[in-house]
Amino acid sequence: MSEKVENESPRTGDRKTRQAHFVAPEEVAAPGETDAVHIDQPPTSMWSDAWRDLRKRPLFLVATVIIVVVIAVAGFPGLFTGTDPRFCDLAFSMQGPSAGHWFGFDKQGCDIYSRTIYGARASVLVGVGVTSIVLVVGVVFGAVAGFYGGWADSLLSRIADIFFGIPLILAAIVLMQLFADRTVWTLIVVLALFGWPQMARIARGAVISAKNNDYVMASRALGVSNVRTLVRHVLPNSLAPIIVIATISLGIYIVAEATLSFLGIGLPSTEISWGGDISTAQVTLRQGSPILFYPATALAITVLGFIMMGDALRDALDPKARKR
């Protein structure tokens, strides 16, 4: 070290030299302007920070690719196959893969590749539909309960608890039986009916932790009304966990749809869905046929994509990981 040690007092012992008055050169900790503003990076908001972080995560990139492909397939199945999934010829029953029919044919003689492609739409529709309803209902209930507290909180939380206590699949099985002609929309409404309490809980917790911040108090002290404070300050700061849970549960609703269709009380057999195809394919499983493998894999990859996306978002939006 180049720092000089000034020794004021005469050397009387070891202690004096070792603990003499030491002054660092002025360059060290030159006082300068107190708390000067040093900003040399581009402006960052929480979302742009999260985006920069996400771009570098393999988990996020893989999930994005999966989700984009699944949505494209669901939206425009015609781009991916020219074969009609409903054109079945028993002459082709159980035939293996061939040119133009990559996955082969099922027991009815339908093209499996085409059915897998067309099956994506039901899954994505149910997943997105249920999640949208759950988001709206859950966030409104949760935010009102969390922000206002008191009896509103007690009432809304107990209602949510009642629904929460009934397992999603069990409730859906019981309820779906009541409908003779089921469509995608019946399924969406039934799943949403029992799916919102989870979102309400998450939203309520996020709102409670956000509303205790001083900026909420400052906003009230400015004369901003309660509702506006909730919408302008509290909700935007509660979004991160809500988005994470929404993404993950989207995958779960797709699984629920497949489960119900598999059990025969989801979508009618006239609709093409992965769950229904898995169900019809299971009789062929014992013959060592791989038919079941195709819709099941498509389902697994789709769900994996959404759950991976949720995990990536959770990591990127984690407030503890962000710089203060």
**Closest to 111 measured CA to CA, from 138, 89, 132:** 89
Among 58, 165, 223, 288, binds another protein (CB under 8 A): 223
Cβ-based nearer residue to another protein, 30 or 180? 30
To another protein, the closest distance from the beta carbon of 227 in angstroms equals: 13
Check residue 220 for interaction with another protein (CB under 8 A): yes
Give the integer Cα–Cα distance in Å for 48 and 189. 35
Nearer to another protein, 181 or 214 (CB): 214
| Cα distances (Å, whole numbers) of residue 118 to 83, 167, 267, 293 | 10, 29, 14, 16
Regarding 18 and contact with another protein (CB under 8 A), the answer is yes
9 binds another protein (CB under 8 A): yes
- Taking the complex as a whole, the smallest distance from the CB of residue 136 to another protein amounts, in Å, to 21
b/e map of 30-49 (b: 16 or more CB within 10 Å)? eeeeeeeeeeeeeeeeeeee
d(CA 134, CA 245): 11
**226 near another protein, judged by CB under 8 A:** no
* Residue with the two structure tokens 């969406």: 188
- Residue placing its CB nearer to another protein in the complex, 15 or 286: 15
Within 62-101, the residues that bind another protein by CB under 8 A are: none
Residue among 184 and 207 whose Cβ is closer to another protein:
207
286 binding another protein? (CB under 8 A)? no
User: With binding defined as CB under 8 A, does residue 39 bind another protein?
Assistant: yes
Can residue 19 be called a binding residue for another protein (CB under 8 A)?
yes
Neighbours of 169 (CB within 10 A): 15
Two tokens at 232? 């302008």
Measured from the CB atom, the residue of 34 and 287 that comes closer to another protein is 34
User: Which residues are registered as beta bridge partners of 55?
Assistant: none
Q: Does 320 bind another protein (CB under 8 A)?
A: no
Residue from 249, 288, 256, 286 nearest 274 by CA: 256
28 forms part of the interface with another protein (CB under 8 A):
yes
Q: Report phi then psi at 172, rounded to 5.
A: -65, -40
Phi, psi at 106, each rounded to 5°: -90, -170
The answer to whether residue 35 forms part of the interface with another protein (CB under 8 A) is yes
* Assigned token pair, 182: 């089921």
**d(Cα 216, Cα 198) in Å, to the nearest integer?**
25
Of the candidates 221, 272, 294, the one whose C-alpha atom is nearest the C-alpha of residue 118 is 272
Q: What span, in angstroms and rounded, lies between the C-alpha atoms of 189 and 175? A: 11
Quick one: 39 or 91, whose CB is closer to another protein?
39
Asked whether position 221 contacts another protein by CB under 8 A, the answer is yes
Which residues are bridge partners to 105 per DSSP? 111
Using rule CB under 8 A, residue 222 touches another protein: yes
Complex with another protein: residue 44 or 282, whichever CB lies closer: 44
Nearer to another protein, 286 or 324 (CB): 324
Binding another protein (rule: CB under 8 A), the pick from 10, 26, 58, 82 is 26
Determine the straight-line distance between the first and last CA of the chain, rounded to whole angstroms: 33
Total residues at interface with another protein (CB under 8 A) = 46
Stretch 199-218 residues interacting with another protein (CB under 8 A) = 213-215, 217-218
The answer to whether residue 157 forms part of the interface with another protein (CB under 8 A) is: no
Query: Where along the sequence are the contacts to another protein (CB under 8 A)?
Result: 1, 3, 9, 12-15, 18-24, 26, 28-31, 34-35, 37, 39, 41, 43-46, 49, 213-215, 217-224, 233, 236-237, 322-324
